């Protein structure tokens, strides 16, 4: 069995977590079409060790901006998965369902992430592409190190100051009486 088929079910769970109230019924039907077509519910190897759900359950470990970046990346992975599934199926009804789901996911992205998504991704890609073993890059990095360190320290200090009242409130609410 193609492992991508199993992802159709996970797609359904991920999309349902976004709570698309008005179109929930329609997207559920589209996902059911994929679930049936790819025989997702019958394959027991698809259950356990989730791919995307574990990222949705860990939301308390990340700040809101980090959560948004994680959700954006999940949507990107689904885009690639659904595109591959679309290219490998001949069933027109299934293709229609995949296109519909992709459209709804694109709408989620447009409404929630598009404002600075491309700029952020470009900067991240540039950082990931830095040639860390290049001597010129290393020397430039040393030249900028103090400024970078001070900037990060200030940001973390401000964040911890903002988080302190929340932590105190949370601690007082969770204390046993």
Residues 131-149: pLDDT tens digits? 999 888 898 888 888 998 8
Alpha-carbon span 102 to 100, nearest angstrom: 5
pLDDT one-digit tens code per residue, 36-65:
888 887 777 777 777 787 777 766 677 777
How crowded is residue 17: how many other Cβ atoms within 10 Å of its Cβ? 14
Q: Domain boundaries in the chain?
A: 3-119, 130-174
pLDDT at 16: 46
Q: How confident is residue 5, by pLDDT bands cut at 50, 70 and 90?
A: very low
Q: Any idea which of 18-32, 54-68, 142-156 has the lowest mean pLDDT?
A: 18-32
**Phi-psi label, residue 93: left if phi above 0, alpha if psi -120 to 50, beta otherwise:** alpha
Alpha-carbon span 157 to 175, nearest angstrom: 26
Residue with tokens 């964040």: 159
Q: How far is CA 164 from CA 9, 157, 173, in A?
A: 40, 11, 14
pLDDT at 172 over 60: no
Q: How confident is residue 18, by pLDDT bands cut at 50, 70 and 90?
A: very low
């Amino acid at each position: 069995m193609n492992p991508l088929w199993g992802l159709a079910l996970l797609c359904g769970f991920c999309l349902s977590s976004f709570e698309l109230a008005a179109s929930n019924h329609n997207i559920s039907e589209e996902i059911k079409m994929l679930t049936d077509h790819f025989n997702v519910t019958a394959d027991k190897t698809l259950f356990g060790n989730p791919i995307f759900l574990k990222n949705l359950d860990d939301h308390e470990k990340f700040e809101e901006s980090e959560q948004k970046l994680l959700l954006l990346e999940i949507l990107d992975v689904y885009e690639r998965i659904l595109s591959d599934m679309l290219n490998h199926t001949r069933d027109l009804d299934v293709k229609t369902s995949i296109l519909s789901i992709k459209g709804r996911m694109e709408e989620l992205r447009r409404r929630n992430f598009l404002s600075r998504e491309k700029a952020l991704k470009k900067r991240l890609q540039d950082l990931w592409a830095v040639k860390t073993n290049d001597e010129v890059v290393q020397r430039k990095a040393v030249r900028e190190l103090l400024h970078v360190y001070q900037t990060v320290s200030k940001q973390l200090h401000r964040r911890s100051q903002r988080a302190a009242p929340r932590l105190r409130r949370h601690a007082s609410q969770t204390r046993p009486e």
